[in-house]
Structure 1
Amino acid sequence: MGVVFSKSLFVKQTFLTLVLAIVLSLVSSAFQFFDGISEQKAQINQHFEELLAVVEKPLSEAVFRLDVAFAQQQVNGLLVSPSISHLEVRDESGRLFVEATAAKRDFYLPEFFTNYFLVDLETYERELHLERPAFYAGNLYLWPEKRYLLDAIFKEQVSVLIYNLFKDVLLACLLSLVFYFLVTYPLMRLTESLSSAGYNEDIPLPKSFHRYHKSDELGNLYTTFAHLWKKLHKALSDLERSDSHSKATIEHAADGILLLDESNKITLVNSTAENMLKMSEDELKSSPLKALHTSSSWPDFLEVLMNLNLGSPQTVEAVYQIQGVELPVEIRLAKYRIQSRVETILLVRDVSERKEAEAHIHRLAYYDSVTNLPNRQYLSDKLLDVLKNLRATKASSHAAVVFMDLDRFKIINDSLGHNVGDQLLCSVASQLESVVKDNIVFARMGGDEFAFLLSHLGDDKRRVEKVIETFIRRVIYACQQVKKAGHHEVHITASLGATIFNGDETSAEAIFKQADTALYRAKESGRNTFALYRTEMQAISDMRLEMEKALHHATEAKLFELYYQPQTNDKNQLIGAEALIRWKDEHKGFISPAVFIPIAEEIGLIVEIGQWVLDESLSQVATWLKEGKWDPSWRMSINVSPIQFQQAGFLPMLKEQLEKHEVPSSCVDLEITENMLFNDLNSSLEKMHAIKRLGVHLSIDDFGTGYSSLKYLKSLPIDRLKIDQSFIRDLLTDKSDEAIVLAVIAMAKALNINVLAEGVETLVHFDRLHEMGCFYYQGYYFGHPVPPKEFIAQFVHDLPTQSPSS
């Protein structure tokens, strides 16, 4: 027996199986190890990109609002993940906005492992953008904790390697034992039995079999009975295993499974279906399939079920009725034949979460997140539907689109904050819902722009126009009511433009353009009014669009230039100059600032233009000081737009410009209008005091034309009032203007404030102002605005030479 065992295939098979199992396990584990690291890197990259995508919008809004606390809360929330070591948020200029660093931790693996395996895992960066308004807010930087990530990867991969090695060795041992007990040992027993039986018995084996297998175990087989028995036993084992697998698959499937017979009665149910449908297997088997469906869902499903062909699966959506609650489901149907029977299997999946997600996506796509009103896309789709209906019916019925802009909203938004602005928009939306009827779609187009789509207005265009005008007046009246926005009571008005159409228009965008054109006409008419679109307005709209394009080009290419108008005292001595912007277009020549400055304010270019004016004028003063052509006691008057003044970065920008050009702050006089104080006096006062602490002078320009001058004048830290030229022009002929000028001079004298009169054009005006006690002047009588070289040539004479430090 020992001799036979030593020569058997079992020893060879066992040895080779163990060696091969160990080698293959190590090789496959090594490949799996490095492949696992690559997969983990991909998952890490995806994980960090998803984290950055989640916080991109809130961080963009936080940077836009300068909300450091909210931004810090967002990055601290990210730092909860142990896979992050450091976070930074930098604004659009690269300055650090907020940052957060994880606490120091100890790791098992040395650092050179990290540098080897995760050398390509670098810092993650995400640009921060806002869609509305379009704004580049800065960047978010994320540094991963590589040693933590590698620790996790190693723990997982090493466990897998050990598990695979143990599994493969164990499998090899089991295979060897199976081979021994199923093949070698039975063969040895059979050999012994056959040996005892002798060789005289008729053994049904061919002679060739004895010739080729005489020296091994197979040569000792004397019958095929044992071989057939083993095959039968193995087949039965496989069948039982397959049956067990099928039952486990059905029972533990994530989808509910219902098996139908040829009569479409339920014959098999898994536990997932029981839980989903809240019914036991017995209840489901005793219930007709129709009882699961809602009345509206069953006919379509039954049609699919009846027409289903063998081997042609289909997927349909249906609605189940579960204990009075509707459950949207997705059903995969497959019909097949088993022996002589035809069965149908239904794989039922609960898609309620997916439906909710689709509804949420639909709301994001078609509704405004601030006011919950329909958005521009929704209104465009509805307008297309109205146009299709008008064209399909070929009726002469009319519809209309009305655009509405809130007047001065940008100033309110910038001065009181975007939160207050959003609350104001919500208040307007809520108040206007009272004027919206069934045939009206009310939408927010973006920013402070709203729109109305009115349909089924009738055939008579004149009557339709009256209906539109009545509706618009109701909207204007609603907008004029006091609005609550946070702790503020805000007064606001609206400008509206409307266009009436009957389906002949080419596209929805063409109708929108007409309404927009009418809106601009209303704004040009003084705001807080409305205009109906007329064909001749389009040319004006095109001219404005052309002006906007040209203004953008001029701003980018710095095509502006500064002229300087002298300011003198009563002895005709120069006391300074006012820097006045000029724009000479290559096609239209000089364009008045009164024309392009309001447009620049509306399209958001005024801040950039104002910064250029400040930079250019201070550069000119610096040059004249070095050349000894500017007395340090003179002031350069520079106009500041209300929008630019309300910017959070105005004061830092002013400091930067003064330091850049090394101009004494006493040489600078900023001219602001009193209207900018109307929105937020406290914030404006704080900024004005900060400017005064820099040593810069402050003047109120166009004094007397605003709303709050007399009320707040005593609290303003100003050095000079500039009487508007409209009062000076008719000073000699209009007693009212004369009284106003006298009152301003007397009031300024009582408050110890200097007064400068603008628009002094004749000697008679000069003499009268001198008699009234005004001793500082600016106007054509003393000099027109001229370029820098001409200003020096005309107005600077016999100036004592100044040292560069003076």
Structure 2
Amino acid sequence: MSVVIPILALVLLVIAQSLLLLGTLHEQRNKMAEHASQRLLHIGYQLQQSLSDSLSRHQWDIAERQLTLVALNQQLDSLQVIDPQGLVQISNKRAEKSLFAADNANYFNTELFNQVKNKRSPVSQVLPEHWQVNLYLPLDMGPREDSLRRAEQGAIFVSYNLQNTWLVKREMIIDEAIKTFIYMSVAMLLLVLMLNRLLVAPINKLVGRTKQIQTHRNANIAAKSQGEIGALEHAIGKMANGIHSSFAQLQRSEQRWQFALSGSGDGIWDWNLITNSVYYSPQWKAMLGYQDSEIGEKIEEWESRIHPEDLDKTLNELRKHLKKKNKVYESMHRVKHKDGHYLWVLSRGMVVERSERGLPSRVISTQTNISEVRSAQELVRFQSSHDDITRLSNRRKLLENLDLEIERGRKSNKVGALIYLDIDHFKNVNDMLGHAAGDLLLRLIAHRLREGRTSTETVARLGGDEFALLVPNLSTDREEAKQLASNMAEHLGRVIHKEFVIKGNQISLNLTTGVALFPNHDSNATEILRQADIALYHGKDNERSSVHVFSDQMADEIQERHQLTKMMREALENEDMVAYFQPRYNANFEMVGAETLLRWFDTKLGWISPGRFIPLAEETGLIVTLGQWVMRSACETLKTWEDRGLPENFKTLSINVSPNQFHRNTFVQETLAIIQEAGCDPKLIELEITEGVLVDNVQDTVEKIQALRDIGVRFSVDDFGTGYSSLAYLNKLPINCLKIDKSFVSELQSGGSECAIITTIISMAENLDLEVIAEGVETEYQLEFLKYRRCTVYQGFYFSEALEPEIFEERLFIGQAEIA
């Protein structure tokens, strides 16, 4: 023991002295860096004034001498004048001139340079790892000789290396520390020897006596020594008794910490139900932002911080466990942080002690912060019920809310409305500005739709350019609710119609709106949404940019359209449709061609107008099958006419081709197959396409037309002048003919602009060497006007209506003279 203590004392002295030495070295190094910074700042301010004076007079040579002299006198590592662009204009090292300071200066920092230049205040930079102190000082460099602008702002960069100075200083400190260590070692040795004699020997005897504590549970240690050692013996005896009395408390404490270690919580609270006192662990308090002394030992400290909405549920779970209904207490709830926000926590605990009567006397619980997990769960829940682009509710969320509002409406007898909104021609925005601009516009539309909405209303995006607004509790009167919903829809139309500006483009939009009221009989959310959808598409078919409220008549129309589509499929399969032919004549009343027109007679409905079933066929996709059937029927009929011997004047049989049919990748192959199968002369076939086909993918259009032109098929543009502006493409497209729309011909007698339009179309066709056919000629005046304007082919009721095949053939081969 007498050897161990001196060695231990010496080791402690070495450690203490080493720590002191390290602290002193660190402190002195910091002081040296601070002193160097102050010194550099003092040098910089002096140099700043002299350099500013020289540079304002453009005396660069004087400025350079001043700088070099200062750098030499002050033993600076680097001293530079840097212009606003970061170029070194003056330096104590010639090799650094005219180079960027960031490339050659000692640990030059461009961000600090820009900060000094912009704020015009000096900045010091200490780099301990490089033994370097840098100073950035603003400098007015004077105006350029060739400019009247104000003086440019550059900077002075000063760099000073501390390493050599520090080595000298460190050596002095170490020498002083060695001397101190020697003196203290001698003093420590003397002290240890004295303590060993006065204290260690008596204590060794006392140690032997204290071993009784390990073998005797209540051992009493008598005080036999005098003075301090005797007092120590008395204290140790008293301590032995205290150790055994504290053993039970130690066991309980061990239970507490064992439970904490086995749990996954960060904080612990330990509730003694007998004394109604609670131990809150430091981690529990820190989790809520509190210091150890800021929270007391009452259960109310926990209860008062639980979110009011979660309090009853949380306490109920705890009561169930106390009454042995649950093996473990577990609750997920919100707890208030010191700064006011709430944390989501998971509390898990159990009763660890019960009284003799079996009542709970002690509960230990852990508390884990699960806010991040909860936030992630809420994000997933939000994304599953909201649109990614607009952050509005999606279709799923809308239907959920609509189901709830329908049920509430039934209980309160109040009528609500679902307003279904469609942006008219939104596709044009995507085509013109791109999908990124389209997404931005959707977000702007969503923002306008949200403005002024209450918490009970739901704004949703259903996909594409379709939105919905759910408005509950409009009125107890259905008619009043209908009027309020219509007014609201009209207001939304005005809100959306206000101009948007996207990429400098001003965009005006219109809304077509469908409204469905609820509750309605036994309808659920899906049915109400379907009704609003029916009302919306009724508006698209009849009157865009307006509001349409669902009615049973609309549902009947949808049912009728569905039935008509079914009938049309059956008619195509059974070949119940018939190709009629409307003749075309020249000025001599000679039949020069005909147009193939589809007619449909149903045994129940009678004659069904093409204006009724053709748009439906385009909408359902049946137009392709319908168009192929018409083309096949026309080609087969043409072959029959050819076999009988067509009149010499008969030049073309015209067949209408829909855009959907034309834009199929297989259109050319399908057309060639039909012509070859029928065996007719392709030079007698003329395919009519609309203006919209011309401007949609011009290159593809030209290739398809040319492929069929190569075998002799002719092409004409139907209803020319009523659709897209295709003038720019006419000279590029291999077409043969323009057809003047009957809407222009019918208005000729009114003397309006139609006369000028027709004259322009005929003149343009002559310049492009195209044939012109006038549709809808019904009066002699119209015919004479067209003749005078040099239109040579006519079609219309003035000559003949569309004829069924047998009558047409009779007129074609026998009865042409009757027209003349």
Q: What TM-score bracket applies, with the shorter chain setting the length?
A: 0.5 to 0.7
Q: Which residue of the other structure, out of 539, 553, 563, is the alignment partner of 2:553?
A: 539
Residue 741 (structure 1) aligned with residue 754 (structure 2): no
Residue 363 (structure 1) aligned with residue 382 (structure 2): yes
Q: Is the 8 A contact 2:403 2:525 kept in 1?
A: yes
User: In the alignment, which residue of structure 2 is the partner of 1:655?
Assistant: 668
Residues 656 and 594 of structure 1, relative CA distance in 2, 3 Å threshold: same
Residue 472 (structure 1) aligned with residue 489 (structure 2): yes
Quick one: distance in 2 between partners of 1:437 and 1:460?
A: 21
Quick one: distance in 1 between partners of 2:783 and 2:811?
A: 20
Residues 659 and 347 of structure 1, relative CA distance in 2, 3 Å threshold: farther
Structure 2, unaligned runs of 5 or more: 1-253, 816-820
CA displacement at 1:740 relative to structure 2 = 3.9
User: In the alignment, which residue of structure 2 is the partner of 1:223?
Assistant: none
Residue 316 (structure 1) aligned with residue 331 (structure 2): yes
Letter in structure 1 aligned against 2:555? S
CA displacement at 1:415 relative to structure 2 = 8.7
Q: Is the 8 A contact 2:765 2:772 kept in 1?
A: yes
Q: Deviations over 1:56-94 (max 9, x none)?
A: xxxxxxxxxxxxxxxxxxxxxxxxxxxxxxxxxxxxxxx
Quick one: distance in 2 between partners of 1:437 and 1:274?
A: 40
CA displacement at 1:416 relative to structure 2 = 7.8
Pairs aligned (count): 538
Quick one: distance in 1 between partners of 2:278 and 2:789?
A: 105
Structure possessing the higher relative contact order (Cα contacts under 8 Å, 6 or more residues apart): 1
CA displacement at 1:796 relative to structure 2 = 6.9
Residues 453 and 786 of structure 1, relative CA distance in 2, 3 Å threshold: same
CA displacement at 1:598 relative to structure 2 = 3.3
Residues 699 and 400 of structure 1, relative CA distance in 2, 3 Å threshold: same
CA displacement at 1:339 relative to structure 2 = 10
Residues 721 and 259 of structure 1, relative CA distance in 2, 3 Å threshold: same
CA displacement at 1:784 relative to structure 2 = 4.6
CA displacement at 1:705 relative to structure 2 = 3.0
Moved more, 541-550 or 255-264: 255-264
CA displacement at 1:714 relative to structure 2 = 6.6
Residue 335 (structure 1) aligned with residue 351 (structure 2): yes
Quick one: distance in 2 between partners of 1:651 and 1:502?
A: 45
User: In the alignment, which residue of structure 1 is the partner of 2:786?
Assistant: 769
CA displacement at 1:366 relative to structure 2 = 3.2
Letter in structure 1 aligned against 2:558? R
Residues 412 and 321 of structure 1, relative CA distance in 2, 3 Å threshold: closer
Alignment of 1:398-413 (within 5 A): 399-409=416-426
Aligned-partner SS, 1:779? coil
Alignment of 1:781-796 (within 5 A): 784-785=801-802, 795=812
User: In the alignment, which residue of structure 2 is the partner of 1:609?
Assistant: 622
Q: Is the 8 A contact 1:497 1:522 kept in 2?
A: yes
Residues 331 and 769 of structure 1, relative CA distance in 2, 3 Å threshold: same
Q: Is the 8 A contact 2:623 2:660 kept in 1?
A: no
Aligned-partner SS, 1:372? coil
Q: Which has the larger radius of gyration?
A: 2
Q: Which residue of the other structure, out of 708, 722, 740, is the alignment partner of 1:705?
A: 722
Alignment of 1:155-170 (within 5 A): none
User: In the alignment, which residue of structure 2 is the partner of 1:251?
Assistant: 261
Residue 727 (structure 1) aligned with residue 740 (structure 2): no
Residues 278 and 555 of structure 1, relative CA distance in 2, 3 Å threshold: farther
Aligned-partner SS, 1:694? helix
Quick one: distance in 2 between partners of 1:344 and 1:671?
A: 89
Letter in structure 1 aligned against 2:547? F
Quick one: distance in 2 between partners of 1:783 and 1:700?
A: 22
TM-score of the aligned structures, taking structure 2 as reference length: 0.53
User: In the alignment, which residue of structure 2 is the partner of 1:378?
Assistant: 397
Aligned-partner SS, 1:690? helix
Q: Deviations over 1:236-286 (max 9, x none)?
A: xxxxxxxx9999996376555847454387779899x89978999999998
Q: Is the 8 A contact 1:479 1:494 kept in 2?
A: yes
CA displacement at 1:407 relative to structure 2 = 2.7
Q: Is the 8 A contact 2:280 2:297 kept in 1?
A: no
Q: Which residue of the other structure, out of 452, 460, 485, is the alignment partner of 1:443?
A: 460
Quick one: distance in 2 between partners of 1:437 and 1:246?
A: 51
Q: Is the 8 A contact 1:517 1:538 kept in 2?
A: no
User: In the alignment, which residue of structure 1 is the partner of 2:701?
Assistant: 688
Q: Which residue of the other structure, out of 670, 690, 693, is the alignment partner of 1:673?
A: 690
Q: Is the 8 A contact 2:457 2:469 kept in 1?
A: yes
Residues 381 and 701 of structure 1, relative CA distance in 2, 3 Å threshold: same
Q: Is the 8 A contact 1:494 1:528 kept in 2?
A: yes
Residues 259 and 491 of structure 1, relative CA distance in 2, 3 Å threshold: closer
Quick one: distance in 2 between partners of 1:760 and 1:335?
A: 100
Q: Is the 8 A contact 2:580 2:596 kept in 1?
A: yes
CA displacement at 1:317 relative to structure 2 = 1.4
Aligned-partner SS, 2:642? coil
Q: Is the 8 A contact 2:295 2:301 kept in 1?
A: no
Q: Is the 8 A contact 1:563 1:581 kept in 2?
A: yes
Residues 478 and 555 of structure 1, relative CA distance in 2, 3 Å threshold: farther
Structure 1, unaligned runs of 5 or more: 1-243, 799-806
Q: Which residue of the other structure, out of 471, 481, 494, is the alignment partner of 2:511?
A: 494
Aligned-partner SS, 1:373? coil
Q: Deviations over 1:506-548 (max 9, x none)?
A: 6555655554454455445432222445xxx422431233313
Moved more, 770-779 or 316-325: 316-325
Quick one: distance in 1 between partners of 2:754 and 2:501?
A: 38
Residue 760 (structure 1) aligned with residue 774 (structure 2): no
CA displacement at 1:762 relative to structure 2 = 6.3
Quick one: distance in 2 between partners of 1:641 and 1:422?
A: 31
User: In the alignment, which residue of structure 2 is the partner of 1:15?
Assistant: none
Q: Deviations over 1:573-629 (max 9, x none)?
A: 66655443444556424322212333445xx42xx3232244334544665687783
Aligned-partner SS, 1:721? strand
Letter in structure 2 aligned against 1:774? C
Q: Deviations over 1:700-757 (max 9, x none)?
A: 3222334636687677664322111233345457565445433332232233332111
CA displacement at 1:450 relative to structure 2 = 2.5
Quick one: distance in 2 between partners of 1:510 and 1:596?
A: 27
Quick one: distance in 2 between partners of 1:290 and 1:326?
A: 15
Alignment of 1:589-608 (within 5 A): 589-601=606-618, 604-605=619-620, 608=621
Residues 326 and 563 of structure 1, relative CA distance in 2, 3 Å threshold: same
Q: Is the 8 A contact 1:566 1:795 kept in 2?
A: no
TM-score of the aligned structures, taking structure 1 as reference length: 0.54
Residues 613 and 421 of structure 1, relative CA distance in 2, 3 Å threshold: farther
RMSD: 5.1
User: In the alignment, which residue of structure 2 is the partner of 1:301?
Assistant: 314
Q: Is the 8 A contact 1:334 1:344 kept in 2?
A: yes
Letter in structure 2 aligned against 1:327? L
Letter in structure 2 aligned against 1:368? D
Q: Deviations over 1:28-62 (max 9, x none)?
A: xxxxxxxxxxxxxxxxxxxxxxxxxxxxxxxxxxx
Aligned-partner SS, 1:629? helix
CA displacement at 1:782 relative to structure 2 = 5.4
Quick one: distance in 2 between partners of 1:415 and 1:691?
A: 25
Residues 612 and 253 of structure 1, relative CA distance in 2, 3 Å threshold: same
User: In the alignment, which residue of structure 2 is the partner of 1:429?
Assistant: 446
Q: Deviations over 1:635-662 (max 9, x none)?
A: 56444545666xxxx2523233245446
Quick one: distance in 2 between partners of 1:436 and 1:302?
A: 37
Letter in structure 2 aligned against 1:685? V
